[in-house]
């Protein structure tokens, strides 16, 4: 039986400058690695057999109703503007509307061959980044963080050449609320194509913010979603790694897991990405960077305002108010990790003091909070001079918080996608062993449950296992 996808495409109806129609480039011997049956069911997809899924999600066969296209966008990368990026190795197949919620979802192939936006790239992806993104986005979803999802991963049977030599090729199928990025707005603003900009604005509001009727309202809504998103990242020790404006969505979903990583030992300037040499996208900096990114969105929206001077003044005020909104969202999430509602003037101090001790003692971010939630004690911090006093103050404060324990268990995962486990999983898969991938995926689907059989996946890395750098994998 062949796979049925109830496509209902809208992006393909936008003006021609928004994209280039482009079929996928066939691959030699596609094989299905994994298919997300739960997500498919939510999307109203009827899956065919494995061979058929491999044909479709490798791009070898274009399913009925698909209108493959590469989206145009620009973006600020590490602060510098690239007026022309676009899908260089991805194709939007089309959209479906979820039968249960009415939400419109993009289906995108990533690694499906060259497009007019590929520049020097081959349009392909290797197995490592494909499995990494599959695992990380599904883990983020299970953690409760807004994110794009993974529908399928297929190996291509075709080696691709990277610096390290030939690597197994693969294709990821990604599902997203949309792929509209800050960089999509920048693309048309940079070209002074106000008509297209207006069309993009109308489309974005209709799709994501039906309550917004002008750019001020859109910016406000995106600020709210992105502040909440980045606060979420901080609360689970997530480092996106490449927060360029082309990787910042209008929907407020986490997107593009190239060098993304979860922190082991807590340190505010933790950086994993090999190309982030100055720590622009370090853990703690993410709060500042998202404000900067939304300032770029604001600039791109200026031409849509009736009075440009007034627009700049209003947008500047909105952007200037964002750090406080983010700080407030972050404080609530960090407080919840300690069972606090941040209503007491001492609550922020309890959070800050704990983080300081964790930093000084190299305590594991995830496990320290989880231990406090489970037992009220953090063994990693017993050696800290201030730990006793801190603990006494915290315990005293918790007496007024009868629901604290339940709140803490729901805010502190036992399981994150630890870098060393991800790297070990990729090494195994490269040798043809997908068991570690499937096991990690299964465990990370229930990150807040205690899973005694998976204690090895909870442990921080041994010194020789520590991952020093992650790579975009392009």
Binding site for ligand AMP (CB under 6 A): 85-89, 117-118, 121-124, 242, 246-247, 256, 258, 472, 474
The size of the interface with Mg ion (CB under 5 A), counted in residues, is 2
Give the C-alpha separation, 157 to 389, whole Å: 59
The torsion angles phi and psi of 87, rounded to 5 degrees, stand at: -70, 100
Mind telling me the catalytic residues? 246
The reply on whether position 247 binds Mg ion by CB under 5 A is yes
Which single residue brings its beta carbon nearest to ligand AMP? 121
Question: In 3-state terms, the chain is what percent helix, strand and coil (to 5)?
Answer: 45, 15, 40
Instruction: For 368-394, give the DSSP string.
Output: HHHHHHHHS--GGGTTSTTHHHHHHHH
Strand runs (DSSP E) across 10-103, as ranges?
A: 19-21, 31-35, 69-71, 75-77, 80-82, 90-97
Give the C-alpha separation, 240 to 257, whole Å: 7
CA angle 276, 174, 110 (to 5 degrees): 65
Measured between alpha carbons, how far apart are the two ends of the chain, in Å?
34
- Across the strands, what pairs with 19? 71
Nearer of residues 245 and 366 to Mg ion, judged by Cβ: 245
Q: Which helix (H) or strand (E) holds 428?
A: helix 419-430
The reply on whether position 256 binds Mg ion by CB under 5 A is yes
Residue 17 DSSP class: G
CA angle 105, 107, 112 (to 5 degrees): 160
Residue 88 interacts with, from ligand AMP, Mg ion, none (CB under 5-8 Å by kind): ligand AMP
Name the segment binding Mg ion (CB under 5 A); options: 100-108, 190-198, 244-252, 266-274.
244-252
Residue 276 interacts with, from ligand AMP, Mg ion, none (CB under 5-8 Å by kind): none
CB of 194 to ligand AMP, least distance (A): 24
Nearer of residues 124 and 240 to ligand AMP, judged by Cβ: 124
CB of 117 to ligand AMP, least distance (A): 6
The reply on whether position 253 binds Mg ion by CB under 5 A is no
Give the C-alpha separation, 366 to 266, whole Å: 9
Nearer of residues 121 and 379 to ligand AMP, judged by Cβ: 121
CB of 25 to ligand AMP, least distance (A): 12
CB of 89 to ligand AMP, least distance (A): 4
Nearer of residues 239 and 338 to ligand AMP, judged by Cβ: 239
CB 135 within 8 A of CB 441: yes
Residue 224 interacts with, from ligand AMP, Mg ion, none (CB under 5-8 Å by kind): none
Which single residue brings its beta carbon nearest to Mg ion? 256
CB of 179 to ligand AMP, least distance (A): 11
Nearer of residues 121 and 362 to ligand AMP, judged by Cβ: 121
CB of 111 to ligand AMP, least distance (A): 8
**Residue ranges in contact with Mg ion by CB under 5 A:** 247, 256
């Amino acid at each position: 039986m062949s796979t049925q996808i109830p496509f209902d495409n809208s992006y393909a109806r936008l003006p021609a400058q928004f994209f280039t129609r482009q079929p996928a480039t066939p691959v030699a011997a596609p094989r299905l690695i994994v298919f997300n049956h739960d997500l498919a069911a939510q999307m109203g997809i009827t899956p065919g057999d494995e061979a058929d899924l491999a044909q479709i999600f490798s791009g070898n066969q274009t399913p009925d109703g698909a209108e493959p296209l590469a989206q145009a966008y620009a973006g600020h990368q590490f602060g510098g503007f690239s007026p022309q990026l676009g899908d260089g190795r991805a194709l939007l197949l089309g959209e479906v509307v979820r039968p249960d919620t009415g939400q419109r979802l993009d289906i995108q192939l990533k690694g499906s061959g060259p497009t007019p936006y590929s520049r020097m790239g081959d349009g392909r992806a290797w197995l490592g980044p494909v499995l990494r993104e599959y695992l990380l986005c599904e883990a983020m979803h299970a953690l409760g963080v807004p994110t794009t999802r993974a529908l399928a991963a297929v190996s291509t049977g075709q080696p691709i050449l990277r610096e390290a030599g030939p690597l197994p090729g693969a294709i990821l199928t990604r599902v997203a609320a949309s792929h509209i990025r800050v960089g999509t707005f920048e693309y048309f603003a940079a070209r002074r194509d106000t008509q297209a900009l207006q069309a993009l604005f109308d489309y974005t509001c209709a799709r994501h913010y039906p309550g917004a009727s002008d750019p001020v309202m859109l910016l406000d809504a995106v600020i709210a979603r992105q502040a909440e998103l980045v606060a979420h990242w901080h609360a689970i020790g997530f480092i996106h790694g490449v927060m360029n404006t082309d990787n910042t969505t209008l929907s407020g979903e986490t997107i593009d897991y190239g060098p993304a990583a979860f922190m082991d030992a807590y340190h505010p300037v933790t950086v994993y990405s090999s190309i982030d040499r100055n720590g622009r996208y370090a853990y703690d900096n993410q709060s500042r960077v998202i404000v900067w990114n939304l300032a770029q969105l604001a600039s791109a929206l200026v031409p849509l305002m009736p009075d440009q001077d007034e627009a700049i003044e209003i947008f500047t005020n909105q952007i200037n108010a964002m750090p406080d909104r983010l700080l407030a969202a972050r404080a609530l999430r960090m407080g919840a990790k300690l069972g606090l509602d941040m209503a007491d003037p001492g609550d922020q101090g309890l959070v800050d003091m704990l983080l300081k001790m964790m930093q000084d003692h190299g305590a594991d971010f995830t496990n320290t909070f989880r231990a406090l939630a489970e037992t009220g004690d953090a063994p990693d911090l017993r050696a800290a001079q201030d730990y006793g006093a801190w603990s006494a103050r915290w315990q005293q404060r918790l007496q007024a918080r009868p629901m604290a324990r339940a709140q803490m268990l729901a805010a502190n995962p036992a399981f994150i996608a630890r870098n060393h486990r991800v790297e070990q999983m990729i090494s195994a898969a490269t040798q043809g062993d997908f068991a570690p991938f499937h096991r990690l995926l299964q465990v990370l689907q229930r990150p807040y449950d205690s899973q005694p059989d998976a204690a090895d996946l909870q442990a921080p890395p041994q010194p020789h296992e520590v991952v020093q750098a992650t790579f975009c994998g392009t």
